[in-house]
Structure 1
């Protein structure tokens, strides 16, 4: 292989009760990238369409992640990257993660897969560090592994793949405002009460058990965030109304996607997910802020190959 074209999925991080440790990959929205080998050492970003982002390698998350991979590789050449950027930065559905994860996944494929998925996550985290000042893995891990992932530990890094119930669907509304991850982290408290911690740990354990058992009621009972959502939700217009109406429409649970402003809901079955989407639309239309809505099955594969050239 000399060139590969890939789909890099959008992701939902935190998933209510799993701040910085839990994430899932979407199937209906994501970026596309073309990565090709070059004889020249290093990484060049030759084209970005869809968004106004820097082409300079060390200012672009895909370039920084790719350089981290090259630093650990014995490959003597380099890579060129083209990005069709379909996930808007600051959307809360893993824009920087898609570019970071997609770049290193494609490079690894072109090199014959010398690196494990865990190593690819470590490289991609360097792109996340450029974007948000924090090398978090809860977006890049599901983008690379697919499905739901749990970051059990950051030091040493330990990623656990979790099962996805067959009928689980996500609905995401993205208000056309930007909330930067770096800004949204600054408003978070650095300490929590023991009471809130116990509630959160119980919900995280319950959600993981629900995924393993395909227990949709347990999943719904566990989708509660007692720590981050009460603070970050003030940055998102009509958050409480969106969440309440999604639950009335049949959602199992709802919360902030990543750092926002996107809001997600999980539902059992596509029809329920569509009803939730309609409730979100009807809630947001009177506000006067443009928005996108995505309905997606959970993407169990992660990054996908679209085309290969030898």
Structure 2
């Protein structure tokens, strides 16, 4: 399969119209339609159902779309890395990261790596933990920066120190009288906003303390939790380091006094899979080791 033809197909799939895709690709519609037909003829499969105003992907088309995204991304990434090499740059490191790990990634670990390897470039792919692990398995990223808990089967892992979970709320909803921390029981009856993957841990911990938590909103991004809490919709629960993702004078943060509600960030990569020299040096910095030259 021709990479260029796959890119044409992805444009059609994303636009939902051949006319819109042709406009996006700066080409005429008939040649683009011909490229789609040639791809279908090559595969011996119908990829789209044509309607009067739009197209709809067939099951084969949906499967090809998912595979084509991976193939095109790997091809583009390889081209960029080879271009960097030709220009004498040290390379490009592909990292997958969840939003709540951003602060841990951007603190001294990444700054140290950048200082030692200033020629390195980055490809960041952001998503939830399941998305990052999928990108790792597909080889689109070399390293994932994710947060506990997760299934570590098939992964090599390096962890940061653990940190507490915190309750975040608008200043108008601060019942603590300026205290820096709260007991877990103080969350009883309050509408909670949290990252979906923390739900089992928080529910179990609250039940052990004699109450059923009130989950007002579950989501997949720490920034969403902070925004909703800042709007006064409820009490957000996030890792302490994620609090800095939103700058707001209206948002206050209280450590939750609970040994069970602690979490940590991990750098993960696939076992028994090739790891570039640049990725190995990044892991050295993440571990806090003296990097090798």
Structures share fold, TM-score greater than 0.5: no
Q: Work out which structure has the larger RCO, using CA pairs closer than 8 Å and 6 or more positions apart in sequence.
A: 1
Alignment TM class, shorter chain as reference: under 0.3
In proportion to residue count, which structure has more helix? Answer: 2
Normalising by structure 2, we get a TM-score of 0.24
